[in-house]
Amino acid sequence: MSVQTLLLDFSLDPARLGDENGQKTVFNQLETVLKDYIPNLILAAEIKVDGGSLKLLTGKKGSTVAVRLFDRGLVTVNIEYYKEDSEEPLINFKSARVLENQLKKYMTVIKSQAYPPLKRCLFGRYYPTSDERLLEYDIDGVLFDEQSPFQRVQIVHSKTLGNMLVLDDLQNISEADLVYTETLMKRGKENYEGKEIVILGGGDGALLYELLKEKPKFVWMLEIDETVMNACNKHLRSICGDVLEQRKGHNYEIIVEDCMLTVNKFIKEGKKVDYIFGDLTDIPISESACGELWEFMITILQASFKILKQNGKFMTHGNGATSPESLELYEQELTKLKPPVKFSKSRAFVPSFLEDWIFYQISFKTTDNGDA
């Protein structure tokens, strides 16, 4: 069940909408055509607003139509109705396109656009890209939905992506996203055999699962949210295997707490590791590198390099390739780190993100004589 929302936009000669009489004439033309598509349609309210007018209509089964007439020559039509899964749609995209063409002919429209229906319900089918464009997914069910002390944790099922982890209404990883983990690891180009590794975050278990295949000496995974691990252990076994079953194995340990507690403990002990993976928050989308999330990321970076061996690497995901300004801000912050660091980047199309994603490999910058 869902509320279906269909949107149609039209542009007309502004002179036709320049006064109240012109807007009334255009609306009457539009209403005549709409009544052929939505039964029992009646005008419920007329509101004069700055820059034009708003007409509200109601029809069959409580359907509503909002017609906004702008005196600059734009008309928008928003149609909403409730639909059970078993019901035929009152008006679908195909009929909306027919309606659009009818209105174009009848109203002498300059340009028009009909959009596929938005299916609004109590679980998400729409998730944003990194630069906040809306994507519709073929989600057909929710397998897990629980509010942890830190975030809303969901596992949804996609017809093409399989099961997918969603945190606070943002897609995180799906069964189709091995490329994400392998690009983060730079599999085939980095040698993890016999190495000591720290994962900051990584609650879905995918990175830990793939790293353990590389025969490391030991991996510490520092994850704060046990709800995420429980959900993934049950519903995302294809990407995490059985590594989330136990909190400790012969060559790994999952520590459930704020990752900075263990990092600070390692700093105090003088512990050094070969690799650190930042699998926490994405690079924030902002105009400047300030605010709580930026401060958190910079704190993580500074602390991580205190427990990284001189030839070690900090590996992390950045953000979508369509957000170059935020990636540039992150790189500017990297140039400010002391001791100085250098970085390289990788790029991969991640299926569940439906876009290219940027990954960073950061290490100490060495001088000509090999000193940091």
pLDDT in tens, 107-128: 888 898 998 888 887 677 889 8
CATH superfamily of domain region 122-172: Spermidine synthase, tetramerisation domain (2.30.140.10)
Helix (H) or strand (E) holding 344: strand 341-350
Domain 2-119 has CATH 2.70.98.30: no
How many whole angstroms separate alpha carbon 6 and alpha carbon 83?
13
Q: If you average pLDDT over residues 69-86, what whole number do you get?
A: 91
Angle, helices 20-34 vs 93-107, to 10°: value is 140
Task: Tell me the whole-structure pTM to 2 decimals.
Answer: 0.84
Which one, of 185, 180, 242, lies nearest residue 214 by Cα? 185
pLDDT in tens, 25-45: 999 999 999 998 888 999 999
217-221: which pairs have CB atoms within 8 A and are 24 or more residues apart? 217/251, 218/251, 218/252, 218/253, 219/251, 219/252, 219/253, 220/252, 220/253, 220/255, 220/262, 220/273, 221/252, 221/253, 221/254, 221/255
Domain boundaries, the chain: 2-119, 122-172, 174-364
177 given a catalytic annotation: no
How many whole angstroms separate alpha carbon 136 and alpha carbon 139?
9
Q: If you average pLDDT over residues 342-348, what whole number do you get?
A: 96
Average per-residue pLDDT in the chain? Answer: 91
- 369 pLDDT above the threshold of 50: no
pLDDT in tens, 153-183: 999 999 999 999 999 989 999 999 999 999 9
3-class DSSP state of 4 = strand
pLDDT in tens, 263-307: 999 999 999 999 999 998 777 666 666 778 888 888 999 999 999
CATH class, 174-364 region: alpha beta
Angle, helices 292-304 vs 259-269, to 10°: value is 30
Point out the catalytic residue in the list 71, 204, 279, 282.
279
Predicted confidence at residue 291, as pLDDT, reads 76
